[in-house]
Amino acid sequence: MLLNFRCLDEMISVEVNREGEDWCLAIEGRDVPLQAFKEQGGSWLVDTHQGRRRLWVATRGDQRLVFCDGKVHVLDLPDPELADDDELESVGGGLFAAMPGKVVKVLVGKGDRVTSGQAVIILESMKMETELAAAVDGTVAAVHVEDGQLVGQGDALVDIEADPEDESE
Sites of contact with another protein (CB under 8 A): 1, 3, 5, 7-8, 10, 12, 14, 16, 18, 20-23, 25, 27-28, 30, 32-49, 53-60, 64-73, 75, 77, 99-102, 124-126, 128, 130, 153
Q: For another protein, which is the closer residue by CB, 5 or 161?
A: 5
Least distance (Å) between residue 11 CB and another protein: 8
What is the separation of C-alpha 84 from the centre of its chain, rounded to a whole number of angstroms? Answer: 15
Strand partners, 126: none
Residues 6+ apart with CB under 8 A from 39: 45, 54
Output 45 or 122, the one with its CB closest to another protein: 45
Q: Supply the minimum distance, in Å, between the C-beta of residue 157 and another protein.
A: 16
Sign of the alpha-carbon torsion through 147, 150, 152, 153: positive
Give the span between the Cα atoms of 93 and 116, in whole angstroms. 9
CB of 105 to another protein, least distance (A): 17
